Amino acid sequence: MKIDIITVVPGLLESPFSHSILKRANDKGLLEVNVINLREYTSYARAQVDDYPFGGGAGMVMMVEPLVNAIESLQQKNTYDEIIFLTPDGETFNQQMANSLSLKNNLLMICGHYKGIDQRVREHFVTREISIGDYVLSGGELAAAVLTDAIGRLIPGVLNDETSALSDSFQDNLLAPPVYTRPEIYRGWKVPDVLMSGNHKLIDEWRHEQSLVRTKDRRPDLLDK
Strand order, beta sheet including 128-131: 32-37, 2-7, 106-111, 82-92, 128-131
**Identified binder of ligand ADE from the candidate list 62, 117, 126, 143, rule CB under 6 A:** 143
88 lies in the site for ligand ADE, by CB under 6 A: yes
Q: Residue by residue, what is the 3-state secondary structure of 141-176?
A: HHHHHHHHHHHHCCCCCCCCCHHHHCCCCCHHHCCC
Contact between 85 and 128 (Cβ < 8 Å): yes
For ligand ADE, the closer CB: 141 or 158: 141
Considering the rule CB under 6 A, would residue 131 count as an interface residue with ligand ADE? yes
Does residue 116 interact with ligand ADE by CB under 6 A?
no
59 binds ligand ADE (CB under 6 A): no
Q: Which of 77, 80, 69 is nearest to 38 (CA)?
A: 69
Give the nearer residue to ligand ADE in terms of CB position, either 83 or 132: 132
What does the alpha-carbon distance between residue 218 and residue 221 come to, in Å, rounded to a whole number?
9
Q: Please, what is the angle between helix 20-27 and helix 141-152, to 10°?
A: 70
Residue nearest to ligand ADE (CB): 143
Question: In this chain, which stretch among 29-37, 39-47, 130-138, 191-199 interacts with ligand ADE, using CB under 6 A?
Answer: 130-138
135 sits near ligand ADE (criterion: CB under 6 A): yes
177 binds ligand ADE (CB under 6 A): no
Q: Which residues does 217 contact at the CB level (< 8 Å), separation at least 6?
A: none
- Interface residue with ligand ADE among 66, 140, 152, 177 (CB under 6 A) is 140
Which of the residues 67 through 86 are near ligand ADE (CB under 6 A)?
Answer: 86
Contacts of residue 156, defined as CB under 8 A and 6 or more positions apart, other chains included, come to 30, 162
Span of 126-134, 152-160, 171-179, 207-215 interacting with ligand ADE by CB under 6 A = 126-134
- Name the site residues for ligand ADE (rule: CB under 6 A): 86-88, 112, 131-133, 135-137, 140, 143
